[in-house]
Amino acid sequence: MSDTRILWLPTSEARHFGWDDGHSSRRNPSGIRVDSDTALQSTVVLACARVLAESVAGLPLHLLRRLADGGKEIAREHPLYGILHDAPNPWQTSFEWREQAMLHLCLHGNAYSEIRSGAAGAVTELWPLHPSRMKVEQIENGRLRYKYREENGAETAYTQDQIMHLRWLSDDGIHGMIPVELARDAIGLARACEIHGASFFGNGARPGVVLSTDNTISAEAAEQLRNNWERMHRGAANSSRTAVLTAGLKPVELGGNNQEAQFLEARRFQVEEVCRLYRVPPHLVGDLTRSSFSNIEQQSIDFVQHTLLPWLRRFETSIARDLISDRQYFAEFDTRGLLRGDAAARASYYQTLWNLGVASINEIRRWENLDPVDGGDTRFVQLNMQTLDQANAGGVALEEPEPPVLPQPEPDQVMSMRAMTISIDYDKTFATDPRLWGEFAKGSAAAGNRVVMISRRPDTPENQSVVGKTLGEYKDAFSDILLIGETMKDEAAKAAGIDVDVWVDDSPQFIRAENRAAPDSISVGDFVSWGSGTGRGRGKITRIVRDGEINVPDSSFTITGTEDDPAVLIRVYKELAEGWQPSDVQVGHKASTLTKIGALD
């Protein structure tokens, strides 16, 4: 088998050999030729492909081993770990290989890699193969056969065991459908708008011109007049030049303009249309038209849950099918990095995990890329900071001298005394790691505690379905699941007859009203915090408007204030090595979304 592979060719003509009609290029009604190569000339397609490719490539990919107790551990000693996590072949890193595979999926709907064996075992290297050169067919025994067209036109055949195949949406289970072919018209229209804008400004931001005369001129003279006019007046460099016309010539501008054609509206809609194809939130490709401080955090969470997770599962399941023979091992992406908040938000989150015995000190240090410490693997629970073993035994850790022996309650009495109600938030808590929090909820319920879920998502059938699917097998561990919308969580819990002892929540300002800043209690110079897409933002109030609007500097956002809920302009503070320092960024919020905090300077 030849070692030479065409991994990427610079022009569409070099890629297409009539090997697969599904890759052929045809003009659509917009007049633009759209295929898997030319689609990247559309800036929004390029932006969406980059967002998806870089997001998937940037996540840590680990090979894990299942343990007998139901847990898992990283299998660094396994030869496949280095291939997936570090370098799958001699010239690519794992990031580059996954980035290229995602780009192939976004454009071609398929991604292929040749599985090469060697001294390290059945899987020693993964060599990417370009989808435009691959043909897939199902043979009589039900297995797949792959035929790859080499640069010299020769054909190399592969068995199913020699190819790692990633598919997008498929209608036959064999070939992934091609996104740019299905959305050819939408991409063509977006590209046509870009070309029209470039041509319009290239012509001096003026529409076309007809040179009219009552005299009769020859075809040669007409051609010479047109060439001279374009030479003198076409292009941005020739804009507004003076024209000298003779022989009764008169310039007549053609009707129609960009305002009448709603050019900007069309461009903006095509951005949304292409984002809809790839399920990418528009704010990630630079369109903030429909984004605000109140919804951009939720959009970022939805991007991880509903856009990235399906792609990650495609990678994980394809690796399990094509690269792993021992089902004791499996591949898994770590998505916690995408939901990583600021230092204060992480500290609060880790404190909750540590207090509940969910995580040990060394686990938290590992998440922060810190070295382990001696004794850091012991877990604690809240009651007198005792270990889990002591809690299970019904004892309490006390200092010397040893106390006198007291009558011990029965085990069921100990369980009853410790029973409590635990509320686990959905977004940015349970949804970030369903397995971790699901096992915690399951274990807490089995120990006699009441576990509930209270989320500020609106109570709609769609949200009920999303939350239910995420809970999956752990749904029975929750005695109550409340979707309460804008209501404060503590208020909603009490209305439902639930008295929560422990809140596992990343947004304390939504638990109790007293955690919020009262409209009449804030003033210029106060320090406040608020929820943001990266955790908890912090800053200093510079302006308050109780009956009017605040235009946020350097943005298109306007915050409207009322007596009951003033608009607030805040100078953002950043946590640096020397402490909290004011930045040049200002943001606007409603007072009801803020929490008063201590001074940062």
Rounded alpha-carbon distances, angstroms, from residue 591 to 297, 439, 519, 567, 568: 18, 37, 6, 6, 6
Mean pLDDT of 202-231: 68
Q: What are phi and psi of 493, to 5 degrees?
A: -65, -45
Task: Calculate the CA dihedral of residues 467, 473, 478, 480 and round it to 10 degrees.
Answer: 50
pLDDT band at residue 1 using 50, 70 and 90 as cut-offs: very low
State the greatest distance between any 2 C-alpha atoms of the chain, in Å, as a whole number: 122
Summarize pLDDT for 348-386 with one digit per residue, the tens. 778 888 887 888 888 888 877 788 888 888 887 665 555
Complete edge-to-edge strand list for the sheet that includes strand 144-149: 134-138, 144-149, 155-159
**pLDDT tens column, 540-571:** 999 999 888 888 888 777 888 888 889 999 99
Give dist(CA 36, CA 53) in Å, integer: 15
Residue scoring higher pLDDT (508 or 86): 86
- Of the three residues 510, 532, 566, the one that is the final residue of a domain is 510
Question: 381 — phi, psi (to 5°)?
Answer: -120, 170
Query: Within this chain, do residues 369 and 442 fall inside the same structural domain, yes or no?
Result: yes
| Predicted local distance difference test score (pLDDT) of residue 3 | 47
Q: What number of other Cβ atoms are within 10 A of residue 577's Cβ? A: 5
Same domain flag for 314 and 376: no
Instruction: Give a yes or no: residue 294 inside a domain.
Output: no
Per-residue pLDDT at 515: 54
**Last residue of some domain: 487, 510, 533?**
510
Q: Is residue 226 part of a domain?
A: no
User: Which range among 81-90, 167-176, 431-440 shows the weakest confidence by mean pLDDT?
Assistant: 431-440
* Weakest mean pLDDT among 5-9, 169-173, 431-435, 571-575: 5-9
CB 558 within 8 A of CB 552: yes
- Position 392 scores a pLDDT of 61
Mean model confidence pLDDT for the chain: 79
**Residue 252 falls inside a structural domain:** no
**Where residue 373 sits, what CATH number does that domain have?**
3.40.50
- For the segment 28-43, the average pLDDT, to the nearest whole number, is 78
The residues pairing with 580 across neighbouring beta strands, listed in sequence order, are 575
User: What residue ranges in 168-243 does DSSP mark as E strands?
Assistant: 209-212
Secondary structure class of 6 (helix, strand, coil): coil
When pLDDT is cut at 50, 70 and 90, the band that residue 317 belongs to is very high
Torsion of CA 231, 233, 236, 242, to 10 degrees: 140
Per-position b or e across 201-212, b if 16+ CB within 10 A of its CB? eebeeeeebebe
How large is the angle between the packed helices 43-58 and 263-278, nearest 10 degrees?
Answer: 30
On whether both 570 and 483 belong to a single domain, the answer is no
Angle at 377 (CA atoms; ends 372, 378), nearest 5 degrees: 145
Distance from chain centroid for Cα 96: 18
Residues 366 and 450 in one domain: yes
**Same-domain pairing of 275 and 153:** yes
What pLDDT is recorded for position 13?
A: 35
Same domain? For 307 and 379 the reply is no
Number of structural domains found in the chain: 3
DSSP 8-state class, residue 11: S
pLDDT above 80 for 526? yes
Task: Band the pLDDT of 415: cuts 50, 70, 90.
Answer: very low
Residue in 175, 125, 130 with CA at minimum distance from that of residue 150: 130
**Residue 403, domain member (yes or no):** no
Order of all β-strands in the sheet with 480-483 = 480-483, 450-455, 421-424, 502-504
- Pair of tokens at residue 273: 């249309």
Q: Is the pLDDT of residue 587 over 60?
A: yes
| pLDDT on residue 358 | 84
282 compared with 228, residue with greater pLDDT: 282
| Stretch 502-517: mean pLDDT | 71
Parallel/antiparallel/unpaired status of strands 502-504 and 421-424: parallel
Res 568: pLDDT:
92
Amino acid at the residue 351: Q
Q: What pLDDT band is residue 293 in, cutting at 50, 70 and 90?
A: low
Q: 276, 183 in Cβ contact below 8 A?
A: no
Q: Judge if 545 and 567 occupy the same domain.
A: yes
Which of 280-294, 300-314, 410-424 shows the lowest mean pLDDT across its residues?
Answer: 410-424
Cα-flanking dihedrals φ and ψ of residue 380, to 5°? -130, 155
Is the pTM higher than 0.75? The answer reads no
39 and 180 assigned to the same domain: yes
Find the mean pLDDT for residues 223-242.
Answer: 63
In a shared domain, residues 282 and 423: no
SS3 at position 570: strand
Q: 250 lies in a domain? A: no
Write out pLDDT tens, residues 61-93: 999 999 988 888 999 999 999 999 999 999 999
**Cβ 594 vs Cβ 528: under 8 Å:** yes
Domain that holds residue 527: 516-597
User: Would the pLDDT of 498 be above 60?
Assistant: yes
More confident position, 315 or 199: 315
Instruction: Average the pLDDT over each of 132-141, 258-267, 401-410, 581-590 and give the range with the smallest value.
Output: 401-410
Count of other CB atoms within 10 angstroms of residue 535: 22
More confident call, 118 vs 540: 540
Q: Is 182 a residue whose pLDDT tops 60?
A: yes
Q: Are residues 324 and 345 in the same domain?
A: no
What number is the average pLDDT over the span 213-231?
Answer: 73
Residue 530 lies in a domain: yes
151 in the same domain as 7: yes
Q: Given this model, what pLDDT does residue 517 score? A: 64
Confidence of residue 410 (pLDDT cuts 50, 70, 90): low
Domain-ending residue, one of 510, 525, 559: 510
What is the band of 11 on the pLDDT scale with cuts at 50, 70, 90?
very low
The pLDDT score that the predictor gives to residue 286 is: 79
**pLDDT of 174 higher than 50:** yes
- 350 within some domain: yes
H or E, element range at 219: helix 219-233
Considering the domain architecture, whether residues 99 and 159 belong to the same structural domain is answered as yes
Residue 422: count of CB within 10 angstroms of its CB: 20
Within a domain: 157: yes
Lowest mean pLDDT among 419-428, 499-508, 561-570: 499-508
